[in-house]
């Protein structure tokens, strides 16, 4: 009889918050999925954007756009409230670091 494994623990290992060139935010979350014994069965990274990057065009052989590439399934768009919260956190971190590092 095959053993049934239940993946029941999601551990978010790291979260990194970036400000992109257009001043929008990007959050990258690395995660692991483990069973009840703590054995890791899957690892991954999901990315959350304040503004999703534009889809890349798909061209035919003569250079006409015939469609657009879908975003990867592990890309997500932040809600306005989530983006506002992260912008506040990012700004506070910038201010605290600037005060501490530049005013010494």
pLDDT at 15: 84
* pTM, rounded to two decimals: 0.73
Q: pLDDT grade, residue 91 (50/70/90)?
A: confident
Average pLDDT taken over every residue of the chain: 86
7-27 pLDDT tens trace: 667 788 888 888 877 788 888
pLDDT at 63: 94
Q: Report d(CA 35, CA 3) in Å as an integer.
A: 13
Q: Report d(CA 17, CA 42) in Å as an integer.
A: 23
32-49 pLDDT tens trace: 888 878 888 888 999 999
Domain boundaries, the chain: 7-102
Closest by Cα among 13, 89, 14 to 50: 89
Q: Report d(CA 27, CA 16) in Å as an integer.
A: 6
């Amino acid at each position: 009889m095959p053993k049934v494994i239940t993946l029941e623990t999601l551990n978010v290992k790291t979260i990194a918050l970036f400000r992109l060139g257009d001043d929008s935010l990007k959050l990258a979350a690395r995660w692991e999925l483990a069973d009840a014994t703590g054995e890791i069965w899957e690892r991954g990274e999901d990315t959350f954007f304040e503004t999703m990057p534009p889809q890349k065009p798909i061209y035919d052989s003569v250079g006409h756009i015939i469609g657009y590439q879908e975003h990867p399934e592990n890309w997500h768009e932040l809600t306005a409230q989530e983006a506002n919260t992260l912008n506040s956190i990012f700004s506070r971190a910038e201010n605290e670091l600037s005060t501490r590092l530049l005013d010494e």
